[in-house]
A = this chain, B = another copy of it.
Amino acid sequence: MKQQHFNQPIEECDLSLSSLFKHLTPEEVEKIILEKTQSSYKKGTYIYHEGNRITGCYLVMSGILKIFKTGIDGKEQIIRFAKPFDIIGFRSVLSGELACTTAKTLEDSTLCYIPQESLFYLVKNNGNFSLELLQLSCRELGEANEYITDIAQKTVRERLAEILIHLKENFGLDGDNVLQISLTREELANIVGTATESVIRLLSEFKSDNVIEINGRKIKLLNYKALVKIANFN
Contact = CB atoms under 8 A, between A and B. Distances in A.
A130 B128 CA distance: 10
Contact of A153 (B71, B144, B150, B153): B71
Nearest to A129: B130
A119 to B, nearest CB: 10
A147 B75 CA distance: 15
Interface-central residue, A133, A144, A148, A192, by most chain B CB under 10 Å: A148
Interface-central residue, A120, A153, A192, by most chain B CB under 10 Å: A153
A135 B233 CA distance: 38
A120 B144 CA distance: 23
Given A137-B141, A141-B144, A145-B144, A151 B97 contact: no
Nearest to A234: B72
18 contacts: A71-B153, A77-B149, A77-B152, A91-B141, A95-B138, A100-B145, A123-B127, A123-B131, A123-B134, A124-B127, A124-B128, A124-B131, A134-B137, A141-B141, A144-B145, A144-B148, A148-B148, A151-B152
